[in-house]
Amino acid sequence: MIIGLLAILAAGASAQKQPYIGYVYPAGGQRGATFQVTLGGQDLDGASGAFVSGGGIKARLVEYNKYLGNQEVTLLNEQMRELRTIPEKERSASVNDLIAKLEKLIGDRPDRPANASIANLAVLEIAISPDAEIGDREIRLLTQRGISNPLVFNIGQISEITALPLPTSPQQVLGREEEVIRKKKRGKKNEPRGDMMMSGMMTMEGSGSPGALDDKEVRVNIPCTVNGQIYSGTIDRFRFEARKGQRLVISVQARSLIPYLADAVPGWFQPVIALYNAKGKEAAYQDDFRFKPDPVILFEVPEDGEYMLAVFDSIYRGREDFIYRATIGEMPFVTGIFPLGGRIGSPCPVKLSGWNLAETNLTPDIKAAAPGIYQVAARGKDGFISNPMPYALDTLPEYMEVSAGSAPESAQKLDLPVIVNGHLDKPGRPDVFRFEGHAGEEIVAEVTARRLDSPLDSTLKLADAAGRCLAFNDDREDVGSGLNTHHADSYLRATLPSNGTYFITLAEAQQKGGMEYSYRLRVSAPRPDFALRVVPSSVNIRSNGSAQVTIHAIRHDGFKGNIRIALLNETNAFEIKWGELKGTQQVTRVNIKTSLPSTSAPVKLIVAGEAKIGGEKIVREAVPAEDRMQAFLWRHLVPARELAACVFVPPPQPRKFEPPKTNAPPVSAEHLKSAEAAGRLLSK
């Protein structure tokens, strides 16, 4: 009877969707550390392991706990009552362990979770090698029905402190939110949940809530990274010692870890950080960094003493997927680079601005064969690596903005085609450029700034010699830039009416300016081209079967050619029979087929599109992406690192459960043996 019940709990519903993970906590760890992480999601039955991109990391499944329905809890309680009737001295250790496990599962379970899509929990042991490359990776969970979507997993370079994992958050009742706050828990005092005291990581008992039951602070030594989860109404506080003259960088990863929450407004966890001195006076406060929701405080310590950092949500929301990583210390931090890009094959020195940098100039070592956006980073004074910055490469000639003024008579002359690297250094003053054009000539002017982490919100205006406006643009959506919610870069395309001089005015929409308001301005004839996105980034295929993916085409400068879809690494194992985007078509679906019965690990696939442009065959790789919803409405294509394919044998249909008869016999020795087997099954 016990085996039958627990087998159903382990197998789950037969009509499952794709495995999905909504959060991973902690969302990273230090090189050389071994520790546990919790992943929350749905349709994770049969979880067996995990994969982290980039190498140097091993992941092992420790346990999987499915969220229990009311009927399942009732049945399990009946079984536990029967087991407890056995004298304790007659129980085996495995039966006692099973009872304890079921008590924990039922005790941590709320009647109604705040978000059912993250209520199923998998616990992994992560081991990071000492020489693993730092920075963002992707973590995916492997289940009996394939591999899950990816989430960001960051490899850090300094010591880390991690709070105990939060239990599943209960649903709040409007007007009675304080009941949820007072029910929050992180495990018994001095008794961490799970084995979280691992090499390179420390644990803390948790956060406090304003005026609530467990208003606590955690003392830390800097530099360090603290990992936490924000519960409804709570504030996490960290106290540390600092010396006068230290240039502290306090940076938070939150929205960059989980870009979009479908059922939250504005659609992500909006962290706020405040820094207080020893007297409790606020010394610094931030709720963002320029246009990015993740805050950064740049603070030069005025005097020796204790300081306290507070982390909370802007409107005191919270649940288990409100996850953050806050780094405190004299860490290198790049606030800007100039220029924002260069020409392929002709790298030029880049000037860096920021804090705690060992270098202020570097030449990007990017071996790229195609235009695109790449990453550059700098070294700090202590050998640490800074935050990465985007850097664009293109094939056109490049100019520096040197004499552009705000009036036509002082406009900088351009010879087309060209990319101009500049910045709007004074608030309210635009840059004006002029060029010679011909009747019937078509030109494109495009700004790339916000897509390169510049705070510039640009506008573009094309005018003739008489000052008549021929075209104007403020914002233009780029669906390929899936992490941006404000598409602030401008784009215009126009046909010139006559021979003569024309002027392009680049301005800041909010009349702001400064050296950090950098841009790249392309002025050229149209350059028809395309880019592709393939959704989802995890492809799960039944044995010897097929699975469907969606291809999104991003057509540049009016490209209307046909795009043929294929696998670059097509073999006898995987293939796309036929797929094509015709004319102006932007979306299509294709089937990826396999002849494999199963795979023991994810297989990396590369989907590409082929088209003819100007008589030349052009091939563009599709960027894997996830289709994510923001705040109940807006959808975004969030880029991923890899397109991972898994081939699986469908699990057997679960046996229909029949409630036990009322005259069921008492628990016997045979039942105890069955219970031991059930315990092993539940732990899988």
How much of the chain, in percent, has pLDDT values that exceed 90? 70
Ramachandran angles phi, psi of 676, nearest 5°: -60, -45
> Above 50 in pLDDT, residue 11?
no
> Above 90 in pLDDT, residue 462?
yes
**Structure tokens of 366?**
């990017």
**398-400/372-376 β-pairing:** unpaired
> Above 90 in pLDDT, residue 518?
yes
Task: Give the count of alpha carbons within 13 A of 64, CB side only.
Answer: 27
CB 311 within 8 A of CB 271: yes
Rounded CA-CA distance 64/680 in Å is 12
* Distance, CA of 254 to chain centre: 9
Where in the sequence of the chain do the CATH 2.60.40.10 domains occur?
Answer: 1-157+657-684
pLDDT given at position 173: 75
pLDDT given at position 82: 82
Q: Which amino acid is at 528?
A: P
| CA 106 to each of CA 239, 288, 523: distance values in angstroms, whole numbers, following the listed order | 35, 39, 64
- Convert the pLDDT of each residue in 318-351 to its tens digit: 999 999 999 999 999 999 999 999 999 887 889 9
Average pLDDT score over residue span 89-95:
82
CB 140 within 8 A of CB 150: yes
Average pLDDT score over residue span 374-378:
93
pLDDT given at position 99: 82
Query: How open is the CA angle 159-162-165, to the nearest 5 degrees?
Result: 160
Instruction: With residue 88 as reference, give the H or E element that holds it.
Output: none
Spell out the CATH class of 530-648: mainly beta
Average pLDDT score over residue span 103-130:
89
CB 520 within 8 A of CB 392: yes
- Convert the pLDDT of each residue in 441-453 to its tens digit: 999 999 999 999 9
Which residue would you say has higher pLDDT here, 89 or 186? 89
pLDDT given at position 192: 32
> Above 70 in pLDDT, residue 637?
yes
Rounded CA-CA distance 499/441 in Å is 9
> Above 60 in pLDDT, residue 74?
yes
Instruction: With residue 313 as reference, give the H or E element that holds it.
Output: strand 305-313
- Convert the pLDDT of each residue in 189-218 to its tens digit: 333 333 333 333 444 544 433 333 345 789
| CA 132 to each of CA 30, 36, 576: distance values in angstroms, whole numbers, following the listed order | 9, 18, 35
| CA 298 to each of CA 39, 295, 338, 360, 646: distance values in angstroms, whole numbers, following the listed order | 32, 10, 20, 18, 44
Q: Return the sign of the alpha-carbon dihedral for residues 97, 98, 102, 103.
A: negative
Q: Return the sign of the alpha-carbon dihedral for residues 203, 209, 211, 217.
A: positive
User: For the chain, give me the number of helices (H) and strands (E)?
Assistant: 5, 48
pLDDT given at position 345: 85
Ramachandran angles phi, psi of 5, nearest 5°: -65, -50
pLDDT given at position 137: 96
Mean pLDDT of the chain: 87
> Above 80 in pLDDT, residue 592?
yes
Spell out the CATH class of 1-157+657-684: mainly beta
* Distance, CA of 624 to chain centre: 14
Helix intervals (H) in 89-243: 93-107, 177-183
Instruction: With residue 171 as reference, give the H or E element that holds it.
Output: none
pLDDT given at position 267: 94
Instruction: With residue 7 as reference, give the H or E element that holds it.
Output: helix 2-11
Ramachandran angles phi, psi of 9, nearest 5°: -60, -40
Residues 6+ apart with CB under 8 A from 661: none
When pLDDT is cut at 50, 70 and 90, the band that residue 133 belongs to is very high
Rounded CA-CA distance 246/330 in Å is 7
**Structure tokens of 360?**
């202020």
**643-648/538-542 β-pairing:** parallel
pTM recorded for the entire structure: 0.86
pLDDT given at position 181: 61
pLDDT given at position 649: 92
First to last CA, the chain: 19
pLDDT given at position 216: 74
Q: Which amino acid is at 661?
A: K
DSSP conformation class of 95 = H
Which residue would you say has higher pLDDT here, 337 or 87? 337
- Of 103-117, 172-186, 195-209, 464-478, least confident by mean pLDDT is 195-209
Spell out the CATH class of 398-527: mainly beta
> Above 90 in pLDDT, residue 682?
no
- Convert the pLDDT of each residue in 601-616 to its tens digit: 999 999 999 999 988 9
Q: Return the sign of the alpha-carbon dihedral for residues 162, 164, 166, 167.
A: positive
SS (H, E, C) 333-370: EEEEEECCEEECCECCCEEEEEECECCCEECCCCCCCC
> Above 70 in pLDDT, residue 553?
yes
Rounded CA-CA distance 261/22 in Å is 9
pLDDT given at position 96: 83
> Above 70 in pLDDT, residue 291?
yes
Ramachandran angles phi, psi of 673, nearest 5°: -60, -40
pLDDT given at position 191: 33
- Convert the pLDDT of each residue in 526-543 to its tens digit: 999 999 999 999 999 999
When pLDDT is cut at 50, 70 and 90, the band that residue 2 belongs to is very low
In angstroms and rounded to an integer, the radius of gyration of the C-alpha atoms of the chain is: 28
Where in the sequence of the chain do the CATH 2.60.120.380 domains occur?
Answer: 398-527
Residues β-bridged to residue 328: 224, 250
Helix, strand, or coil here: 566? strand
Where in the sequence of the chain do the CATH 2.60.40.60 domains occur?
Answer: 530-648
pLDDT given at position 364: 87
**412-413/431-437 β-pairing:** parallel
pLDDT given at position 4: 38
